[in-house]
Amino acid sequence: MRYVVGYTGNDRGQDALELATSLALTQSAAIDLVTVLDWPQDGSMAPGTKRAQEALDQAAAGVADGVEVVTHVQLADSFAQGLLEVADEVDAGLIVVGAASNGLLRRFTVGSVANAVLHSSGVPVALAPRGYRHRSAFTRMTSAVGTRAGADGVLDVAVESAARRGLPLRLISLVALDVHEASDSGEAINKAHQHAHSVLARAVEKLPDGHEASIAVAHGRTIEQAIDEIEWDPGELVIVGSSRLAQRRQIFLGTTANQMLRALPVPMVVVPRDWVRNPR
């Protein structure tokens, strides 16, 4: 398995590299560390190529022992396009990017590069929260469960990922309550519990015998408040599906995923619609 990492010489680039390192340590995967430069107008060598390569080499030297790192200075019309091109070239199973640097009040603020990758990628995209510095293997896999089309596919990815990595699997159901319709709140919470338990039963059937699995149902006036009610491990990874509006095998963030993204204190992996992992 290979993970393509969008790297820039700032905190956002370091966030992405830290997340990719944790993923690689958990999965025994290799990292393709990528910086993208604009095509030179006169056909000459792109300005900054030497400095970009030196920055990549320095970043790669700081990666934990035992993780293979290959560096790439890619020329492309945009940073997102360069990442997608390298991901295709190396047959990557994941693209890793950092959050925008202006995320002040919340942990994630998706910038232009991450947004372009999210809406163009045919492979899952991992998003590192601002200031992410978890430096070891992951300890738990969490999947957001929903009732819309594609939810079963995301569950399958989460189950397979947790089983392959030997990680406990937690399923979460988030309920945003309408404060103006208080009479419906109890029913909404009960339905969320019932649905989560039914999904958990399906997950347990697919997991190896004895594999740890649990559920958590949280509610609040908003999805962000519901997320704040949940306890998160420093070594946690959240998997969500893309919107039903996405084209086949591509990503499009829906409203709930966007709300989750703004509040999560841990990394999120967004899985393309109808995506199936190729055997490696």
Overall pTM surpassing 0.75 (yes/no): yes
End-of-domain residue from the set 103, 128, 153: 128
Same domain, 215 and 116: no
In-domain check, residue 134: no
In-domain check, residue 155: yes
Question: What percent of the chain lies above the pLDDT cut of 70?
Answer: 81
Same domain, 190 and 222: yes
Same domain, 154 and 70: no
Tell me what pLDDT residue 56 has: 96
Same domain, 10 and 110: yes
Same domain, 145 and 266: yes
Q: What's the pLDDT band for 104 if we cut at 50, 70, 90?
A: very low
In-domain check, residue 14: yes
Residues 18-76: tens digit of each pLDDT: 999 999 999 889 999 999 998 876 656 667 889 999 999 999 999 999 999 999 999 99
Residues 162-215: tens digit of each pLDDT: 998 899 999 998 887 754 455 567 777 788 778 788 888 888 888 988 899 999
CA distance linking residue 99 with residue 264, whole number of Å: 12
Same domain, 187 and 255: yes
CA distance linking residue 105 with residue 116, whole number of Å: 23
Tell me what pLDDT residue 179 has: 47
Domain that holds residue 94: 2-128
CA distance linking residue 11 with residue 7, whole number of Å: 10
CA angle 246, 38, 42 (to 5 degrees): 135
In-domain check, residue 276: no
In-domain check, residue 135: no
Same domain, 199 and 257: yes
Same domain, 99 and 149: no
Same domain, 262 and 144: yes
In-domain check, residue 220: yes
How many residues does this entry show for the chain?
280
End-of-domain residue from the set 99, 128, 157: 128
Same domain, 60 and 151: no
Same domain, 116 and 48: yes
Tell me what pLDDT residue 63 has: 94
In-domain check, residue 279: no
Nearest to 70 by CA among 100, 44, 31, 106: 31
In-domain check, residue 277: no
Which of the residue ranges 9-13, 71-75, 246-250 would you say has the lowest mean pLDDT? 246-250
CA distance linking residue 52 with residue 37, whole number of Å: 9
Whether the pLDDT of residue 109 is over 80: the answer is: no
Q: Over the range 58-81, which residues count as b (16 or more CB within 10 Å of their CB) and which as e?
A: ebbeebeeebebebbbbebeebbe
Token reading at 150 = 């594609």
End-of-domain residue from the set 128, 163, 195: 128
Domain count, the chain: 2
Whether the pLDDT of residue 222 is over 90: the answer is: no
CATH of the domain at 158: 3.40.50.620
Q: What's the pLDDT band for 252 if we cut at 50, 70, 90?
A: low
Same domain, 185 and 245: yes
